[in-house]
Chain A
Amino acid sequence: MISKKICLVGDFGVGKTSLIRRFVDAQFSDQYLSTVGVKISRKVVEITPNNQPEKLKLQMLIWDLEGSNKFKAIAPAYLQGARGTIVVADVTRIDTIDRVSGHIYNFLEINPQGFLVVALNKSDLVDEEKLSKLLEMVQSQAQDRVIGIYPTSAKTGIHVDLIFETLACAIIEKE
């Protein structure tokens, strides 16, 4: 079985750990426990990439990184060898959205051939209008290695599987 390493990056508290927990364990907690260092989770997914005839089993090695803030960047060592990354922002905190492009840049500097998905998380907390406006904003910061921007909610589960599977497909297809 093939394995692929992906990372989740983004500011602290945007919901990286929660998205992984929802995806891997189908659970959610309102409690906030800051991540320090890095935690690796595994999940086997079945995907059908466009350029493959059959379903494919893939082990995703998901790196949950410590959140960054204004003063602390992500250690580049963690990003080594990742084929894709999910940049997470919190729709209730506009500054986390402003920093999405910075995260995209940091990742591509180390993995120029990698793929990215942007997750606008906590979408359960804002209205549709605000959400579509934010999507527009991020759209304008994105570039061609970004294969998708989705509003997500670790709380309700909306679009959570989708972002992981989209990224997995892209990595397999473009190989």
Chain B
Amino acid sequence: MNSLLKKIFAPRRMEYLTIDRNFKITDTSDGLKRFADKPEEAVVGKEITLGFPEFFGIEDILVAIQQGRQADFHLKGIARYSETESPLYIDINIIAYPDGENLENRLFIFFEDVTEKLLLEQALVQKSNEANLLLSSLSAAKDYIDKIINSMVEVLLVTTLSGKIKKINQAAENLFGYSEAELLGQPITKIVTEWASEALRARQRYRQSPANHQPSLGCELFKDVEVNCQTKAGKKITIAFSCSTISTDIEDLQNFVYVGRDTTERRRTQEELIKTLEQEKELRKLKSRFISIASHEFRTPLAMILLSSDILKQYGHKLSEDKKSKQLDKIKVTVSNMTRLLDDILTINQTEAMQVSFNPVPIELKKFCQELAEEIELATNKTHDFVFQCQESEVSAEMDEKLLRQIVTNLLSNAVKYSSPGSTVYFDLLVKKGWAIFKIRDQGIGIPQPDQGRLFETFHRASNVGNVSGTGLGLAITKGAVELHSGTIAVESEEGQGTTFTVCVPIVQPKELTT
């Protein structure tokens, strides 16, 4: 009943009007005014465009329909509302009917209320447009952020708290040589081979008590910490990373964001600088040690000379000739020791400046070595057994006799010096493929591993030499002399077991070197 009443009294959905050839209204249905833009103008006799502005400009279409050149014309969804009123939408249809009285067609214009339909449509369009606007602004924002991230010179990595990679930028792809797809979901340790302890601690602290940190704000965990990384190709690089947390879409679930710079080059130069500085420091240490050794080495004999000359001066007249000459001998030996020391210093200076003259001459090595060994055995008061061995009947060679003497003497006297009396010193001479090989082996204190590499450096002395005196020059001189012969010198040693020095020298000197 109720709905029937509503239907009866409800405004009609359709109204109409007719117009003449001058576009003046000739007839209207009762409820037409409701659909007019200006209702007072929607009356018989008025021009249609006054009450219905949508007809303005399409007069030629009206004429065409009236004359039968065009069947009809539709305008859909014309809105009629101002802010305060409830909206009204209408569809308009224009058609022509033959008029009984005149011979002309009459133009009928029908109006249909389509508010309900259009309001529904509006709701749909609104939703769809809003969604599309949101989408386009989101994708524009994402695009923009992606561009920023990818234009960064710095490497960018985002990982989960457990270290799974979630995002990397272009710079990271370039530096590490992986594509993003190869790294997504992988642990960050795939590229970071070694974390600095500072970084590890900061992250650990965070993981244990994230509540201590402001969750909504990103917080910086560490800044510019250098860590070792490895590229896909296996190249080792150093990256200075800064790390912060960011919150994800889930509250209090955080991610780590790493931003890093490649500092491989910087670190290398830094390391080089440190090395040079250390060498410099070492050299200064060696020099001052040399000065103290030298002054010690000089002071002891000088004191001895002083003592002997004092004795001669004060008690000279009381001393027997025999005792006098003993004191004089002492002075002589001491002076010759000092001379040797001075010689050493001079030699080393010369060899280091490559100023030593090199004069290879024909020489028979077997005899030369044998005699030299005997000489040294005697000079060292036969405290050690010397065993010289050579399978050859004779070894003719071309070498600098003075330098060769220095080489063999130094090595043999070292063997005596650094092994206990009664032990044996082995001296082998071998010939192999044009090379003369001198092997000098003792059963002495040996050389600690760390010292072996630096044994031939000027002033370097092994850490276990104790009270045994030495200038730290002998082996440097020896090496210089070997190198003048285009030879090599090597050492094998074990602490407490003994030491073997092996010197290899070409039997005949290459021509261009003999000049």
Contact = CB atoms under 8 A, between A and B. Distances in A.
Interface of A: 3, 5, 12-13, 32-40, 42, 61, 66-67, 69, 75, 77-78, 80-83, 92-93, 95
10 shortest interchain CB distances as A-B pairs: A37-B77, A81-B57, A5-B57, A39-B79, A81-B58, A36-B122, A34-B126, A12-B129, A34-B125, A34-B129
A81 B62 CA distance: 12
B56 A77 contact: no
A137 B154 CA distance: 33
Contacts of B61: 80-81
A137 B61 CA distance: 37
Contacts of A93: 136, 140
A133 B293 CA distance: 81
Contacts of A36: 77, 79, 89, 118, 121-122, 125
Interface in B110-147: 118, 121-122, 125-126, 129-130, 132-133, 136-137, 140
B75 A77 contact: yes
Given A66-B77, A77-B74, A93-B140, A37 B89 contact: yes
Given A33-B126, A34-B130, A93-B140, 17 more contacts: A12-B133, A13-B129, A32-B129, A34-B129, A36-B79, A36-B121, A36-B122, A37-B79, A38-B77, A40-B37, A40-B54, A40-B79, A61-B53, A80-B58, A81-B57, A82-B57, A93-B136
Interface in B64-89: 73-79, 89
Contacts of B75: 38, 77-78
A87 B60 CA distance: 25
Contacts of B132: 12-13, 69
- The SS class assigned to the A binding surface is loop
Contacts of A5: 56-57
Contacts of A80: 57-58, 61
A38 B78 contact: yes
User: Interface residue tally of chain B, by bracket?
Assistant: 20 to 34
Nearest to A64: B79
A42 B57 CA distance: 14
Contacts of B121: 36
A91 to B, nearest CB: 12
A92 B134 CA distance: 12
A81 B56 contact: yes
Interface of B: 37, 49, 53-54, 56-61, 73-79, 89, 118, 121-122, 125-126, 129-130, 132-133, 136-137, 140
A129 B118 CA distance: 41
Given A32-B130, A81-B57, A37 B140 contact: no
B122 A34 contact: yes
Nearest to A111: B57
B441 to A, nearest CB: 83
Contacts of A33: 126
Contacts of A34: 122, 125-126, 129-130
A92 B58 CA distance: 36
Best-buried of A36, A40, A42, A61 by chain B (most CB within 10 Å): A36
20 contacts: A5-B57, A12-B132, A33-B126, A34-B129, A34-B130, A36-B89, A36-B121, A36-B125, A40-B79, A42-B53, A61-B53, A66-B125, A69-B129, A77-B73, A77-B74, A80-B61, A81-B60, A83-B57, A93-B136, A95-B136
Contact of A61 (B56, B59, B74): B56
A12 B73 CA distance: 26
Contacts of B89: 36-37
A78 B79 CA distance: 13
A94 B53 CA distance: 35
A163 B75 CA distance: 27
A75 B92 CA distance: 14
Contacts of A82: 57
Contacts of B79: 35-40
B50 to A, nearest CB: 10
A75 B136 CA distance: 25
B11 to A, nearest CB: 19
Contacts of A32: 126, 129-130, 133
Best-buried of A5, A13, A81, A83 by chain B (most CB within 10 Å): A81
A3 B129 contact: no
Contacts of A37: 76-79, 89, 118
Contacts of A67: 129
Contacts of B49: 3
Contacts of B54: 40
A25 to B, nearest CB: 9
A78 B76 CA distance: 9
B296 to A, nearest CB: 79
Best-buried of B57, B78, B126 by chain A (most CB within 10 Å): B57
A76 to B, nearest CB: 11
Nearest to A77: B75
Given A12-B132, A80-B61, A92 B140 contact: yes
Contacts of B53: 40, 42, 61
A45 to B, nearest CB: 16
Contacts of B125: 12, 34, 36, 66
A69 B132 CA distance: 10
A42 B53 CA distance: 9
Contacts of A35: 79
Nearest to A80: B58
